[in-house]
């Protein structure tokens, strides 16, 4: 899933792999208008994405995957091809690979009841205190992000002894369930209010959603505690060198 910021660059890179025997599909997520924090009106003057309007738009977080995936037509395409689950991960997580043990659990559940949504979590360290965590409320698993926590409880949320796991954003989701919930308009995700300051100094608000927050909308959801090796995010050159070192050490 690309945004309007990354779509063209991604297509250029993917052209290098046209000879491969692997089909690579892309689709774009939505484009939302930034809101002026003072007036609470859209910053955009019109629907164009050029000139002074460039900064007026934003991609509304990875929670938009459900609607955008459905609207792209790819969901129906994959279901028509007999596919049953999709594995979703952050593109910078080099530890996110298809785990056949998890896939086998999905296809052959011990209790005979298939999970519609599986979230991979891993043990929290002091470097992960901002990561979202799972809670159970009214019989459903829920994802709690730090942006949703009142300031008075942030230190409690960051505790590695009270909240011992965090969401890796490696998710296994039933395609049939996504289609059902989208058509019923039943995917419920908390809105995250994300304040930003544009280059010109204008204070704006972005309304975003997180993909994992939809866990409570699915039936028989599950959290699986996985090894840290399945969460290796690379955001800097230093991160990449560390991953290379770890991999060479394991080899």
Contact assessment for residue 177 and residue 217, using Cβ atoms and an 8 Å cutoff: no
Task: Return phi, psi of residue 89, to 5°.
Answer: -155, 160
Q: CA 29 to CA 38: how far, in whole Å?
A: 27
Could you say which of 16, 23, 151, 235 is catalytic? 235
Judge whether 235 counts as a catalytic residue: yes
Tally of CA atoms within 13 A in the half-sphere of 248 that contains its CB: 6
Contact assessment for residue 120 and residue 222, using Cβ atoms and an 8 Å cutoff: no
CA-to-CA separations, 88 to 1, 65, 91, 112, 125, in angstroms, rounded: 10, 10, 9, 24, 23
Task: Indicate the pairing of strand 117-123 with strand 222-225.
Answer: parallel
Active site residues: 235
């Amino acid at each position: 899933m690309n945004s309007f910021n990354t779509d063209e660059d991604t297509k250029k890179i993917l052209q290098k792999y046209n000879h491969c025997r692997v089909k690579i599909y892309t689709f774009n997520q939505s484009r939302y208008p930034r809101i002026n924090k003072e007036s609470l009106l859209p910053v955009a003057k019109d629907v164009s994405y050029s000139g002074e309007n460039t900064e007026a738009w934003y991609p509304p977080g990875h929670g938009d995957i459900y609607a955008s995936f459905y609207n792209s037509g790819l969901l129906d395409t994959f279901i028509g091809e007999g596919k049953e689950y999709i594995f979703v991960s952050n593109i910078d997580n080099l530890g996110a690979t298809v785990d056949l043990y998890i896939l086998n659990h999905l296809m052959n559940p011990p209790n005979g009841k298939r999970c519609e949504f599986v979230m991979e979590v891993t043990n929290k360290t002091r470097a992960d205190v901002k990561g979202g965590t799972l809670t159970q409320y009214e019989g459903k698993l829920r994802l709690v992000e730090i942006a949703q926590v009142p300031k008075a409880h942030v230190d409690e949320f960051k505790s590695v002894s009270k909240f011992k796991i965090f969401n890796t954003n490696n998710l296994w989701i039933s395609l049939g369930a996504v289609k059902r919930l989208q058509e019923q308009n039943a995917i419920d995700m908390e809105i995250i209010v994300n304040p930003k300051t544009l280059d010109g100094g204008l204070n704006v608000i972005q309304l975003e959603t997180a993909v994992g927050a939809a866990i409570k909308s699915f039936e028989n959801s599950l959290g699986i505690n996985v090894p840290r090796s399945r969460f290796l995010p690379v955001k800097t050159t230093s991160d990449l060198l560390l991953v290379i070192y770890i991999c060479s050490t394991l080899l």
